[in-house]
Amino acid sequence: MPGIHPNARTTPAVRTEIATSNESPSVLARRYGVSTETIRKWRKRGAEDCQDRPTRPRKLPWKATEVERAMVCAVRRATGFPLDDLTAVITQFLPHLNRDAIYRILKAEGLNRLPKAERNRCSVTGRVQGMGRVRLDVTPLSTDEADNSASGRFLYVAVDHAGRCAHVALKDDGTTASAVGFLKETLAVFPSRFTHVLTDHTACFAASAFTRACDTHALEHRRTTRIDAPR
């Protein structure tokens, strides 16, 4: 049975009497030492609703927009990082989100525990990479928020599973030029030098211009097999 609120002026039994009584509100208010508004409140609720209601909001407000939630989920799928490592990455570009908010987003989308297929993909990717190898992914963001400027843009993610670090950028398109620009950003921000770049067969990574950019920076470009490609 739910406990009675410590500041409650009435008990569930008294409230039931109020809800079922035919006496005037003023008479009941004097009898139980409450206001007439309290009497009207319990009569309006009825005898079936005489327990204290929780003070927790029925719907908790989000600190993140729909696009930001999509970004969190995309980074989770691309990296497979546990919550603490994921929080460290996401707060670099979404500083208003904390660990609890990120967990709530993942749980709402069913990603607080990665599906078995996603866990296997991240595990295989980590084994394939090793030291000095970075994986690049791109994910288109599409949401129902028609007026949100980030909707329809592309999220680029660079992951170093061995070093447990990642770089994320939001760009206007999924072209090869954007992919090359993201590669240069990754080279500048990653704490350690890497020698290999792993990508799937997405068009922006499969273009010869991207491979030439890798050659320019003395990086070996490898394309993963279908089992490693992100979903």
pLDDT exceeds 70 at position 13? yes
Rounded to an integer, the average pLDDT of 35-60 is 81
pLDDT in tens, 166-192: 899 999 999 999 999 999 999 998 877
The 10 Å Cβ neighbour count of residue 179 is 25
Burial of 45 (0-12, 13-18, 19+ CB in 10 A): middle
State the Cα–Cα distance between residues 77 and 160, nearest whole angstrom.
14
- Lay out the sheet containing 165-171: strands in order across: 165-171, 154-160, 133-140, 196-199, 220-223
Q: Which residues pair with 133 in a beta bridge?
A: 196
Find, among 141, 168, 160, 231, the residue nearest to 198 by Cα.
Answer: 160
pLDDT exceeds 90 at position 158? yes
Q: Are 101 and 200 in contact (CB under 8 A)?
A: no
Tokens describing residue 78: 């691309």
The per-residue pLDDT for 61 is: 66
Give CA separation, 150 vs 146, 154, 182, 200, in Å: 10, 9, 17, 24
pLDDT in tens, 103-131: 999 998 888 887 665 555 555 454 545 56
What are the respective helix, strand and coil percentages of the chain, to the nearest 5? 45, 15, 40
- At the top level of CATH, the class of 66-228 is alpha beta
Domain boundaries, given as residue ranges, for the chain: 12-45, 66-228
Rounded to an integer, the average pLDDT of 144-159 is 68
Find, among 162, 161, 181, the residue nearest to 171 by Cα.
Answer: 181
pLDDT band at 7, cuts 50/70/90? Answer: low
One-character DSSP codes across 79-132 = H---HHHHHHHHTTT-TT--HHHHHHHHHHTT-SS--HHHHHHHHHHHHHH-TT
The per-residue pLDDT for 149 is: 47
pLDDT exceeds 50 at position 147? no
